[in-house]
Structure 1
Amino acid sequence: MTDFLDYQPLNLYSNYRDASIKTPDVTILQDEVLPAFPELGLNYTYKLSHEAILNRAYQLANLGVKAGDKIIIFKSSKFDTYLLAVAASYLAAVPAMISYHFPAETIEVFVNRLENPFILFDDETADKVALVKNSSPEKQISVSKLLNTPADKVPQVELPQDEIAYMTHTSGTTGIPKLICHSANSMGWRTKWQKTIFTKIAEKKLVGFHISPVHSRFNIGISSLMAMGFPMMPLSKANRETVAEMVTKHQPIAIETHPNNFVQWTSLAKEQPEVFASVRYYHSTFDAINNATMASFLKASEKNEPIFLQVYGQSECGPMILKAHTLESLKTSDARDMGVGLEGLTEARIADEKGNVLPRMTDGNIHFLSKGRALTYYKEDDRFQSTVYGPWWDSGDYGFMDENGHLFLKDRQVDLIENIDSSLAIEDHLLDALDFLQEVIIVRGKENSPQPILAVDPKQEMNWDAWWEQVADLPHLNEPIIMAYDDIPRTATMKVQRLQIEKKLKED
């Protein structure tokens, strides 16, 4: 019998089916009913959801979806986005997971690239789909139409394991997103990485998460949790009321979300620490996070030795570099220290602009080595290959390796600001020091000067004296611009769209 930690290629549907056979009665909990799976309600099992997925697969087949077809899944940000992708993979169709944030113009670019694919949408995205001019109406499938289609059985079809089987997209912080292509084999290496991490969770208890279902991280996490038989609580909503209610009621042992959602929930962890009392493992998705934020959640836990696992990675390569934090280790931890790769699976190096490796303690471009690297950008292979250096991938980030082999992240290469060694480090410092702030972003303002953008905690007021005291010894920063947290432009995974802010500043 194969050990679950052995390498196995990942077929989305086969993995789901196998989990539902092996552990049929394991629970999945929701904070709201899923539009595309209303029959499941708020509390169901692996087995019941697998049966519902088969029905959706049969209905998709009835609507003309077949092996090799591309199908854009463009709907509200909920767990059924992923369940629909699993249904499409039963037919060997290729789901392209697209964020509901995007305007019709972006969808038109994707429709061109994917050569008139199917588009599966719901009420949240219907108005945008109606504006897409280059998509055939008969290929546009609303969730309500899908649910009213007969479900005549068809057999499962599988794609070859090195062919494109799944697409996600880049964050779009720098323009039209690129479509990232994954195969069963590339995703298999990522699930091996993820399962290795999940073995550290002491008990098979409930895992809660709020992650964008179109993020490449989502599939890897769900597939791995299910292969190991964990009960799951995917949250659709990130507002503090829903989070407080669901986490208090269901007592998960682990929680994962995007770093910026952790920042958003920090005031909840401070004001109502009992909400997170059951959580022993916190996990942030693919991005840097500051120490004070991690400390707030670790203090709220009532478990012995709670751990905050910081994972730094990228959609093209998967999860890459990790570092486990405790309250004790945070006292001396540098927030820019991302940690180390996972032996035998992922590693990092620093190189110059020509791909030459740089010595330790030297700033340069961060390169990743990952067995789970994506295949290409769909119809943009030249762009993909331009950042490939043999087996290494230029992440687009900037930093250095210390003498112990730890990777330090300074900034995105495109975000470097003159006279600022690391805008991320300054952001961390200010968020750590000033608890009335929900967000600190430093972008290039007029004449490329460093411009802070601040979001103030809605329950507190801006303390200007404390601000000026904190920045007194820092490199020169412009007078801050205050914005509401919800008005700051973000990608599907809550990353700040810095270039969009900079563009607006230059227009004003």
Structure 2
Amino acid sequence: MYLTQGLHRAVQQHPDAIMTIYADRTRTFGEVADRVARLAGALRSLGVTAGDRVAMLSLNSDRYSEYLLAVPWADAVLNPVNIRWSPAEIIYSFVDSGTTVLFVDDAFAPMLPTIRQEYPGLIAVIHCGDGPTPDGTLSYEQLIADTAPIEDARRGGDALAGLFYTGGTTGFPKGVMLSHDNLFASALGSIASGYLFKPNGRYLHAAPMFHLADLAGWLAEVMLGGTHIIIAAFEPVATMKALATHQVTDVLLVPVMIQMLVDHPAATDYDLSGVERILYGASPIAQAVLERAMKLFPGAGLTQAYGMTEVAPVATLLGPAEHVAGLLRSAGRAAPHADLRIVDAEGIEVPRGTVGEIAVRGDHVMLGYWNKPEETAAAVRDGWMHTGDGGYMDDRGYVFVVDRIKDMIVSGGENVYSAEVENAVAAHPSVAACAVIGVPDPEWGERVHAVIVCLPDRTVTAAEIREHAKTLIAGYKAPRTIEIVDALPVSGAGKILKRELRKRYWGDSDRQVH
């Protein structure tokens, strides 16, 4: 299978049906297919060849959806950029991947001088915003108007579909290589559960389209020939207005987004009864938030997905009927396409109820990490993706995530690796040592918390640390709270004992993630 397959099917069966709605633009499947074929032709005329990496740095838009189709149509590889990254992180990913073409919108065009200065490898930059075309860039719409359509390369199967960069424990992002088959296995399995997506649906892109979770929803909707309602970014009122105005049936939200919606004073001003399915992930949902969400969305079934970029991205699902007492803290059971077990350090399955590492196997497991064979071999062993998450499975197959073997924090649905935050904080001239942990937060699930030891005769404020960190890493990774101590707890071998730091916040809880 191949990413453009659903578009061809839709053009064959209902070319005049609406595919995308964004702002005041509405386009049919036939129109989108023609535009995609021309955009792919433009990429080839610019020198893009088979397997080249093409990046997108943009807020959500209908053009983002066209990018996701045009790149494989041109036989190239997607590289969606995390819009929350700092310029240094973006440049690292371009250098690492050898990206040759960049699409950029109005919001991120100001980064171009820095990107070009530090990374001269771009052969072209395409402006995909609605404002004036910046100097030195090509107009997205002009390229489409001036270029003849080309035949679809139908890149698919086990060919690389995209590089999806995720944080790394070394402090540098890793490019997760996902094939077309990887992405389709996850999408088809999720649909087969019966919980998610139906033909003729209307899916709202409120979550960022660079994120694999939303891309998975995009692919499912493309396969089923549904309509994509797109807003530039999540904002409670804009989201509720879009849900109500466009009769949206399906939406992906993280729990912090759901909480922002149910807490908003205007929540009852919109008719949200038409929403049929809400997919959420990144963290479980609190009972109180769930009850309020069910009132706000009376016609919707909620499904929780657990997974990671490396499994394209779904491993388990907790369906609407399972959102009951006793299972709300569960991540659900293995999705139809996934084989899952809990293993010990040797990779041997442990008895039910015993905490071990969650391991996943199936056609959705990544090809590997781009140019990182050692990290790939450590993560994927005998076909099993070792997630780094600790959990247990009950006698009915429900998985409960209890801790992270890898040192990672999930804040507001985004993965933050402690190592990269520690590297940034430690670079401050007043810092002698630091440890970064995730601590409970009612709004974000977890927040990034730094524990710092200052150098003798040096002082620093929390605000100074935050601003310093944000010059090196994305703002959402910078510590939200900071604690200055005289010394960090260490083992006999001199290793910082983060479990001792966590105890102050998590107490005796058997679950140290939210």
Q: TM-score range by the shorter chain?
A: 0.7 to 0.9
Give 1:24's match in structure 2, choosing from 15, 18, 22: 15
Partner of 1:321: 316
Give 2:333's match in structure 1, choosing from 335, 340, 357: 340
Cα 1:447–1:59 shift into 2, 3 Å: closer
**Is it true that 1:135 corresponds to 2:120 in the alignment?**
yes
Partner of 1:251: 247
Alignment of 1:219-238 (within 5 A): 219-238=215-234
Partner of 1:85: 68
Asked if 1 retains the 8 angstrom alpha-carbon contact of 2:162 and 2:177, the reply is yes
Alignment of 1:287-298 (within 5 A): 287-298=283-294
Asked if 2 retains the 8 angstrom alpha-carbon contact of 1:283 and 1:310, the reply is yes
Partner of 2:83: 100
Alignment of 1:195-210 (within 5 A): 195-197=191-193, 204-210=200-206
**Is it true that 1:375 corresponds to 2:380 in the alignment?**
no
Give 1:446's match in structure 2, choosing from 451, 456, 469: 451
Give secondary structure in 2 for the equivalent of 1:373: coil
Asked if 2 retains the 8 angstrom alpha-carbon contact of 1:73 and 1:85, the reply is no
Asked if 2 retains the 8 angstrom alpha-carbon contact of 1:291 and 1:330, the reply is no
Q: Residue 137 of structure 1: CA displacement?
A: 5.3
Give secondary structure in 2 for the equivalent of 1:100: coil
**Is it true that 1:48 corresponds to 2:41 in the alignment?**
no
Give secondary structure in 1 for the equivalent of 2:310: coil
Aligned equivalents of 1:405 and 1:205: distance in 2? 30
Q: Residue 284 of structure 1: CA displacement?
A: 0.9
Cα 1:135–1:16 shift into 2, 3 Å: farther
Give secondary structure in 2 for the equivalent of 1:349: strand
Partner of 1:216: 212
Aligned equivalents of 2:152 and 2:366: distance in 1? 25
Amino acid at match of 1:13: T
Asked if 1 retains the 8 angstrom alpha-carbon contact of 2:344 and 2:356, the reply is yes
Cα 1:309–1:89 shift into 2, 3 Å: same
Partner of 2:384: 392
Amino acid at match of 1:319: V
Aligned equivalents of 1:314 and 1:164: distance in 2? 18
Asked if 2 retains the 8 angstrom alpha-carbon contact of 1:253 and 1:278, the reply is yes
Asked if 2 retains the 8 angstrom alpha-carbon contact of 1:269 and 1:297, the reply is no
Aligned equivalents of 1:203 and 1:141: distance in 2? 34
Q: Residues 248-305 of structure 1, C-alpha deviation per residue, up to 9 Å, x if partnerless?
A: 22222332223332232221389417542222321114543333222222122343xx
Number of residue-to-residue matches in the alignment: 430
Asked if 1 retains the 8 angstrom alpha-carbon contact of 2:208 and 2:233, the reply is no
When structure 1 is superposed on structure 2, of 23-32 and 241-250 the one drifting more is: 23-32
Q: Residues 55-98 of structure 1, C-alpha deviation per residue, up to 9 Å, x if partnerless?
A: 22222222222322221222233342232131111110112111
Partner of 2:429: none
Partner of 2:504: none
Asked if 2 retains the 8 angstrom alpha-carbon contact of 1:346 and 1:369, the reply is yes
Asked if 2 retains the 8 angstrom alpha-carbon contact of 1:263 and 1:439, the reply is no
Aligned equivalents of 2:485 and 2:33: distance in 1? 51
Aligned equivalents of 2:334 and 2:325: distance in 1? 21
Partner of 1:310: 304
Give secondary structure in 1 for the equivalent of 2:182: helix
Q: Residue 341 of structure 1: CA displacement?
A: 0.9
Cα 1:504–1:128 shift into 2, 3 Å: farther
Asked if 1 retains the 8 angstrom alpha-carbon contact of 2:53 and 2:101, the reply is yes
Asked if 1 retains the 8 angstrom alpha-carbon contact of 2:4 and 2:154, the reply is no
Give secondary structure in 2 for the equivalent of 1:395: strand
Aligned equivalents of 1:506 and 1:174: distance in 2? 24
Cα 1:507–1:158 shift into 2, 3 Å: farther
Give secondary structure in 2 for the equivalent of 1:338: coil
Amino acid at match of 1:501: P
Aligned equivalents of 2:19 and 2:159: distance in 1? 31
Aligned equivalents of 1:416 and 1:195: distance in 2? 29
Asked if 1 retains the 8 angstrom alpha-carbon contact of 2:198 and 2:224, the reply is no
Aligned equivalents of 1:175 and 1:506: distance in 2? 23
Q: Residues 347-387 of structure 1, C-alpha deviation per residue, up to 9 Å, x if partnerless?
A: 32222233232211112221112321110111112112211
Q: Residue 402 of structure 1: CA displacement?
A: 1.4
Asked if 2 retains the 8 angstrom alpha-carbon contact of 1:67 and 1:157, the reply is no
**Unpaired segments of 5 or more residues in structure 1?**
1-8, 33-40, 418-422, 432-437, 449-480, 483-487
Cα 1:331–1:120 shift into 2, 3 Å: closer
Partner of 1:66: 49
Partner of 1:75: 58
Give 2:97's match in structure 1, choosing from 80, 104, 114: 114
TM-score where L is the length of structure 1: 0.75
Partner of 2:512: none
Cα 1:293–1:29 shift into 2, 3 Å: farther
Amino acid at match of 1:12: L
Cα 1:47–1:152 shift into 2, 3 Å: closer
Amino acid at match of 1:48: E
Alignment of 1:265-276 (within 5 A): 265-268=261-264, 271-272=267-268, 274-276=270-272
Partner of 1:5: none
